């Protein structure tokens, strides 16, 4: 029975499905969200910040990645291609959405409800350089 579960001899029913039942764990954080200004969350007092809100599922994914702290994200407007960096203040946004300061949306040429790609800064997180720093 050697190799039945992907051991010596390879193959087996689980190997054909990509390992343990075909479950693929994320290796990097790279998600896309509909984005809205803090005004939509009744959080206008946060308009001067440089942080965003992400949904709770983002925290779940990040926790599995064993990322470095503080977390630094690169955010990119899909429509304009403009990007910047930010941190996260809370993981309380509605699933599929993120909230950010309006000034940040203006800099990205991002409209309310527009798609925003959020990913770990390339120089940070799992596999990132020692000491953080931005990869450019």
Q: Is residue 19 part of a domain?
A: no
Question: For the chain, how far is it from start to end, CA to CA, in angstroms?
Answer: 51
Average pLDDT over residues 88-109: 96
Whether 37 has a pLDDT exceeding 80, the answer reads yes
User: Lowest-confidence range among 67-71, 76-80, 126-130?
Assistant: 126-130
Q: Is residue 111 part of a domain?
A: yes
Whether 133 has a pLDDT exceeding 60, the answer reads no
Whether 112 has a pLDDT exceeding 80, the answer reads yes
Q: What are the Cα distances from residue 41, in Å, to 18, 53, 57, 85, 98?
A: 41, 10, 18, 21, 10
Q: Is residue 84 part of a domain?
A: yes
C-alpha span between 64 and 4 (Å, rounded): 28
Average pLDDT over residues 45-72: 91
For residue 40, give its domain range.
33-120
CATH number at residue 65: 2.40.40.50
Q: Is residue 13 part of a domain?
A: no
C-alpha span between 59 and 118 (Å, rounded): 13
- Give residue 24's pLDDT: 57
Overall pTM > 0.85: no
Q: Is residue 45 part of a domain?
A: yes
Q: Is residue 12 part of a domain?
A: no
What is the tally of structural domains in the chain? 1
Q: Is residue 102 part of a domain?
A: yes
Whether 131 has a pLDDT exceeding 90, the answer reads no
- Give residue 126's pLDDT: 44
- Give residue 68's pLDDT: 80
């Amino acid at each position: 029975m050697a190799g039945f579960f992907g051991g010596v001899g390879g193959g087996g029913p689980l190997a054909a499905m990509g390992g343990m039942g075909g479950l693929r764990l994320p290796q990097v954080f790279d998600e896309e969200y509909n984005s809205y200004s803090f005004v939509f969350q009744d959080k206008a007092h946060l308009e001067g910040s440089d942080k965003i809100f992400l949904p709770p599922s983002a925290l779940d994914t990040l926790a599995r990645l064993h990322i470095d702290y503080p977390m630094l994200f690169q955010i990119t407007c899909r429509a304009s291609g403009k990007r910047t960096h930010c941190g996260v203040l809370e993981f309380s946004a509605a699933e599929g959405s993120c909230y950010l300061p309006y000034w940040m949306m203006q800099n990205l040429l991002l409209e309310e409800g527009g798609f925003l790609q959020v990913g770990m800064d390339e120089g940070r997180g799992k596999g990132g350089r020692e000491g953080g720093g931005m990869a450019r």
